[in-house]
Amino acid sequence: MLRNLPIAWRITVLVLLGAGLVLGAVSLYSYLSARDFLEQQKRAEILANAHATANRIDTVTRSVEKIVRGLANSVDDIEPGQRRAVVLLRRTVAQNPELYGSGIGYEPSLYGRLAPYVYQPSGVYGTEQSLETRAASDLVVTDLGRGGRAYEIGDWFQLPAQMHRAAWTEPYYDEGGGNIVMATYAVPVHLRHDSLPVSAVVGGDVSLYWLTRLLESLDLGASGYAVLVSQTGTFIANPNQDLIMNESVFSVAEARRDPRLRAIGRQMIAGRTGYVACDGLKTLAPQESSWLAYTPVPSTGWSLGIVFADSEISGDVVALSRIQWLMALGGIAALLVVALLIAGSITRPLAGLDAATRTLARGDLDAPLPKARGRDEIAHLTASFGQMRDDLQAHIEELRVTTAARERIESELRIAASIQMSLVPRTFPPFPERDDLELNALLEPAREVGGDFYDFFFLDDDHLCLAVADVSGKGVPAALLMAVTRSFLRSLAREGGGPAEILAKVNEELAADNEECMFVTMFLALVDVRTGAVAYASAGHNRPFVVNGAGRATQVPRVRGVALGAKVGMEYAEGVLTLAPADTLFLYTDGVSEAMDAHDEVFGEERLGTELERICAGTCGDVLEELLAALGRHAAGVEQWDDITMVAFRYLGSPGASRDGAG
C-alpha cells in the first residue's frame, strides 16, 4: 500500500512513524515517571496532613488526659459530698476550654449514688474565644446520680472501675447532659480507708462536635474529606452525619461485602499508619475509587483518615500528561511539515526528471531536462539522463544516415537484379516454330544479386548456341560484368568460329581491362540441330550432363579451359559429342551442385545425375521444375546462397538429318 504513495509521502509517513514511536516512548516514560513522582508527592502530602491533624487532635485529648489526671490527684483527699469537689470541678471546666464537662462518680456500693458533674452547654464551647467568654456562671452543676440514676452502668464509670486504670470511653450520645456526642477520659481514684480498689471515677468529657468542626475546617481540596474512627472503628467524625456513631468501618465493609475494607479497618484500630486504595467512606455504598491515608491518634486509640478521590490525585497527572501529549502532537505536526518540506525538496527534481523522461519516452528528444543543481545523486541522474538522451539522438541520426545508405544499396541491388533478369531470354518455348528441339531455362536469383546468366540463340538456321555462365562476385558489378560478358558473347559468337575460339575472344576482351580482377566461368555449346552434333568448350565451368533417351545421365567429357577474364591470351580446348534424338543436354551453375542443406552438405553432381535420371521423362520445363523442387527439399528452409541457373536442351532430331553423326 505504502508503495503506491509518492516518495515524498512515503518518506514523510516513515519519518513520522519512526519519530512518533520515539516521541511516544519518551512521552510515555516521562508520563509514567512523572505520575509516580506526583503520586508519591501527593501521598506524602496527604500522609503529612493526616499526621498533622491527628497530632492536633492528640494535643487536645492529651491535654484532657492531663487535666483529668490532675483532677484525680486533687480529688483523693476530698471527702465524698464535700462542696470542695464541685468548686474544683467548676474551676477546672471554666479554665479548660477543651473540656465539655467534668465529674466525679463515687462507687455506689460505698457512698450511694453520688456524682457531681459540671458542664458547659453553651454553643461557643470548644472555640478559641470560649476561655474569655466562658464565665463561671454559664456552667451547669448537676448530680448524675440524682433520683437514683445508675451512672455506674456507664462505660465512663465501668471501664476504670473494672480495669483499675484510666481509659477513654467509646464516644456516646449523652442524653442527660448537653445532648451531644462526647467521649470521656475517666481515671479511677482510690480514697483512703476504702476497702475497694476503686472508690470513685473522675471523668473529663471532650465534645466530638469540636472534632467535627476541626476536621471540617481542614483544607482538603474539592474531593478530600477527613474521617475519625474510634477504637471500635465507629465513625466519630464523617462528612455524612448519618454515619457518625451509627456505622463503623466494619459495618460499612459488611454492608458493601468488602473484606478488604474490613482489613483496612483492623489496621486503623490497631493504631497503624497506611495509605491504601478504598472506595470512599462517606456512604454505605461504594463511591468513586479513592485513596485513604490513616494514622492513629495515640492517646485515644482513634484513627484519623483522610480520603482523596483518585480522580483528584490523578488530576494533576492528567493535566501534566495533557500538556505532554499536546507537546508531542505539536511536535509531530511540526515534524510533518518539516518532513514534507525536506521530502519535497528531495523529490521535486525527481518529479521534474520523471516528467521530462516521460516526454523523452514519447519520442520528444528535444524536450528540455530539468536543471540539475548541486552534485547529489539526483544531479548525477539528471546528467546521466542528459548524456543518454544525447547519445540516443546521435545514434538515431547515425541510424538514419546508415538506413538511407542501405536503402540506396538495396535499390541498386533491385536495379541489378532487374538488369540480370532482363538480360536473359525468358519466353518459353523460345522457338515455337521449331519441332526439332525443346529448350527451357531457369534462373532463380539468390537474395543478393549474383552474376549467373544463361543464353541461347541461333547463329544461323542450323546452329544453336547454348551458354551458361557464372560471374564471380555479387551485386551490381557482377550484374554489369554479366551484361558485358553476354554482349561480348553475342557479338563475338556471330563472328564465327568454334566454341573454344569464341571463349578465347571473349576472354581477351574481358581480361583486357579487368582491373577488378573479376572472372566468369562459362560453358558454351554449339549444337548443329540438323545432326545433333555438339561442339563445346568450358571456361572453368561445371560439366553439363547428357541424359539419353534411355534415361541415363552422363557428364560431358572434361575439356581444358580457365575462367574468362583472369588472364589474357588463354587457349581453350574444344570437345565434341553427338546428341541422339531425345537426348537431353543439361547445363547448370554451381548454385545447383553446391546448394547447401542445413548440415552444410552440398547437393553434389552425383546426386544431380541421379535426380536427372529419375525425372528425365518429362518435358524440359518439367525437368527444371522437378529439379528446383528437389533442391528446395534439400535446402529444407536454408536460405538460398547462390543463384540457381539451369538450362535443359532436348534434341528431338531433324527429320532430314542422318543419324550417323551420333556418338
Partner 1 sequence: MKRRVVTVAAVTLVAAALLVVLWPGGQRAEGALPLEKAALMLQWEPQAQFAGYYMALEKGFYRDHGLDVEILPGGAAIDPVDALRRGKVDFATSFLTGAITAAAGGVPLVDVGQMVNGSSLMLVARRSVIKDRDDLDGRRVSLWGTSFRSAYLGYFETTRVKPKIVPQYYSVNLFLQRGVDACAAMEYNEYHTIIQAGVEPGELTTFSMREAGFGFPEDGIYALAATVRERPAVCRAFVAASLEGWEYCRDHPDEAVTSVMRYASAAHVPTNRVHQRWMLDHVIAAIFPAENDGWRPGVLARTDYERVKAIMIGEGLISGAPSYERFVAAPARSAP
With respect to partner 1, which residue has the nearer C-beta, 271 or 475?
A: 271
For the chain, give the number of residues: 663
Decide if residue 113 touches partner 1 (CB under 8 A).
no
CB of 145 to partner 1, least distance (A): 12
Separation of alpha carbons 558 and 548, rounded Å: 18
Decide if residue 296 touches partner 1 (CB under 8 A).
no
Q: Site for partner 1 (CB under 8 A): how many residues? A: 33
CB of 84 to partner 1, least distance (A): 29
8-state DSSP, 566: S
User: Which residues have CB under 8 Å from 648's CB, separation 6+?
Assistant: 438, 439, 440, 441, 584, 585, 586, 587, 620, 623, 624
CB of 70 to partner 1, least distance (A): 23
Decide if residue 593 touches partner 1 (CB under 8 A).
no
Question: Could you give the string, one character per residue 121-160, with x where binding to partner 1 holds by CB under 8 A and - elsewhere?
Answer: ----------------------------xx--xxx--xx-
H helical segments located in 424-498: 475-494
Separation of alpha carbons 494 and 425, rounded Å: 18
Separation of alpha carbons 95 and 91, rounded Å: 6
* CB-based burial label for 387 (10 Å; 0-12, 13-18, 19+): exposed
With respect to partner 1, which residue has the nearer C-beta, 247 or 583?
A: 247
Q: Is 645 helix (H, G, I), strand (E, B) or coil?
A: strand
Decide if residue 482 touches partner 1 (CB under 8 A).
no
Q: Near partner 1 by CB under 8 A, which window of 231-239, 502-510, 547-555, 598-606? A: 231-239
Q: Is 95 helix (H, G, I), strand (E, B) or coil?
A: helix
Q: What DSSP assignment string belongs to 220-267?
A: -TTT-EEEEE-TTSBEEE-SSGGGTTT-BHHHHHHHHT-HHHHHHHHH
With respect to partner 1, which residue has the nearer C-beta, 166 or 372?
A: 166
Q: Which of 61, 130, 199, 248 binds partner 1 (CB under 8 A)?
A: 248
**Of 554, 553, 663, 557, residue with least CA distance to 617:** 553
With respect to partner 1, which residue has the nearer C-beta, 64 or 85?
A: 64
CB of 329 to partner 1, least distance (A): 51
Decide if residue 325 touches partner 1 (CB under 8 A).
no
With respect to partner 1, which residue has the nearer C-beta, 265 or 565?
A: 265
Q: Which of 74, 142, 223, 251 binds partner 1 (CB under 8 A)?
A: 251
Q: How far is CA 462 from CA 525, 661, 662, in A?
A: 13, 15, 16
Separation of alpha carbons 259 and 255, rounded Å: 10
Decide if residue 250 touches partner 1 (CB under 8 A).
yes
CB of 91 to partner 1, least distance (A): 30
Residues 393-452 that bind partner 1 (CB under 8 A): none
CB of 323 to partner 1, least distance (A): 44
* CB-based burial label for 194 (10 Å; 0-12, 13-18, 19+): middle
With respect to partner 1, which residue has the nearer C-beta, 245 or 537?
A: 245
CB of 263 to partner 1, least distance (A): 10
Q: Which of 50, 245, 510, 534 binds partner 1 (CB under 8 A)?
A: 245
With respect to partner 1, which residue has the nearer C-beta, 231 or 382?
A: 231
The answer to whether 552 and 569 are in contact (CB under 8 A) is no
Q: Which of 205, 247, 438, 590 binds partner 1 (CB under 8 A)?
A: 247
Answer left, alpha or beta for residue 250, where phi above 0 means left and psi between -120 and 50 means alpha.
Answer: alpha
CB of 319 to partner 1, least distance (A): 39
Residues 162-201 that bind partner 1 (CB under 8 A): 162-163, 167, 169-170, 172-173, 175
**Of 442, 444, 539, 522, residue with least CA distance to 482:** 522
Decide if residue 65 touches partner 1 (CB under 8 A).
no
Separation of alpha carbons 72 and 322, rounded Å: 62
Q: Which of 134, 262, 474, 543 binds partner 1 (CB under 8 A)?
A: 262
Given the rule CB under 8 A, which residues bind partner 1?
A: 149-150, 153-155, 158-159, 162-163, 167, 169-170, 172-173, 175, 231-234, 245-251, 254-255, 262, 265-266, 269, 284
